């Protein structure tokens, strides 16, 4: 789908036809729309292909009068078993003489917010500032999802104290994997932003320097938070592994006590069930009473020994 947006009265407004200085939003494009991008708008086919590649890493590249910026944006999803997953998808930003394009394989939150006017003072005519505002919002989105991961892991930790369930452990494993994805994408994004900061690929204006510094600070803060949360979650998983191992030992000890206690009546009844002479009080009631007494004594001794 191809949409065109321009700024009117300081608000993003959709327009039917492309005009100079507008923003062209491309999401889930068809083959005909891809041909239109390369034909009518003259976009580099390699740039368009890279923007639609899910495995493409963050980078910045310039070819003739077109500049490609691929930036990873965070995405959240939930499985059928209500497990939260966080990963990243690349968004291609192509800057030309007349337009600025955003190309993505799927609709993402950052594109939806920009289209709905949730990002303040977004003006496509100022291409550099437009790109920096998108990058700043993406950095803020990383921080938001990292805080969500921290909240989910804290809730899972509280629930695991009460009950060890496989669903909670799977959630923690999913969060740990999500942090790896986010950390990798954040470091790649940081390298791309630092290249922009040098001003060799995109022309930077004086009023854009502060905004770019804010983007870089937000990105570094997100990288630091991702590292902290990764360490916390890793130590948490190690701790719960020890708790699970200890719980298993407790269960095995209880089963051992039950096995020993249940074996005492079998031994006594076995002696009284065979043709053995000179057994004391060869009566049924005595064998039952003796088995019960010895079983109680053994149970008390084993339980007290365990408490020590």
- DSSP sequence for 237-250: HHHHHHHHHHHHHH
- Check pLDDT > 60 for residue 308: no
Give pLDDT, residue 122.
82
Of 155-159, 190-194, 208-212, 285-289, the range with the highest mean pLDDT is 190-194
Read off the pLDDT of residues 52-101 as tens digits, 9 standing for 90 and up: 888 888 888 888 788 899 998 988 888 777 788 888 888 999 888 888 99
**Cβ count near 58 (within 10 Å):** 22
Place of tokens 């289209």: 115
Output the pTM of the full model: 0.75
- CA distance readout (Å), 175 to 71, 74, 211, 213, 267: 22, 13, 31, 30, 53
- Parallel, antiparallel, or unpaired: how do β-strands 100-104 and 23-27 relate? parallel
Using a 10 angstrom Cβ sphere, with 0-12 exposed, 13-18 middle and 19 or more buried, the burial of residue 191 is middle
Q: What mean pLDDT, rounded, does the chain reach?
A: 82
pLDDT band, residue 276 (cuts 50/70/90): low
Question: Which region among 189-198, 200-209, 262-271 has the lowest average model confidence (pLDDT)?
Answer: 200-209
pLDDT band, residue 162 (cuts 50/70/90): low
Give pLDDT, residue 117.
80
Read off the pLDDT of residues 222-275 as tens digits, 9 standing for 90 and up: 888 888 888 888 887 777 777 777 777 888 888 888 887 888 888 777 777 776
């Amino acid at each position: 789908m191809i949409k065109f947006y321009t700024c009117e009265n300081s608000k993003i407004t959709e327009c039917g036809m492309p005009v100079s200085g507008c923003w062209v939003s491309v999401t889930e494009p068809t083959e005909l729309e891809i041909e239109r991008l390369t034909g009518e708008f003259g976009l580099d086919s390699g740039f368009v292909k890279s923007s639609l590649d899910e495995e493409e890493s963050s980078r910045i590249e310039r070819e003739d009068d077109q500049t490609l910026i691929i930036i990873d944006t965070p995405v959240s999803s939930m499985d059928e078993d209500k497990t939260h997953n966080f990963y990243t998808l690349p968004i291609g930003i192509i800057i030309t003489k007349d337009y600025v394009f955003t190309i993505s394989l799927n609709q993402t939150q950052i594109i939806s917010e920009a289209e709905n006017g949730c990002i303040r003072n977004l003006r496509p005519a100022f291409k550099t500032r437009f790109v920096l505002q998108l990058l700043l919002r993406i950095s803020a989105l990383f921080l938001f999802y990292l805080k969500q991961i921290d909240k989910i892991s804290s809730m899972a930790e509280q629930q695991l104290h009460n009950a060890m369930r496989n669903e909670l452990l799977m959630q923690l494993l999913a969060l740990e994997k999500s942090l790896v994805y986010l950390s990798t994408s954040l470091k790649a994004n940081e390298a791309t932003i630092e290249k922009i900061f040098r001003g060799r690929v995109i022309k930077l204006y004086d009023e854009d320097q502060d905004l770019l510094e804010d983007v870089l600070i937000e990105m570094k803060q997100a990288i630091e938070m991702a590292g902290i949360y990764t360490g916390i979650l890793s130590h948490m998983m190690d701790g719960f592994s020890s708790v699970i191992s200890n719980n298993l030992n407790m269960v095995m000890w209880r089963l051992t006590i039950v096995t020993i206690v249940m074996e005492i009546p079998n031994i006594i009844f076995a002696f009284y069930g065979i043709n053995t002479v000179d057994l004391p009080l060869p009566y049924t009631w005595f064998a039952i009473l003796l088995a019960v007494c010895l079983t109680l004594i053994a149970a008390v001794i084993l339980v007290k020994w365990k408490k020590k």
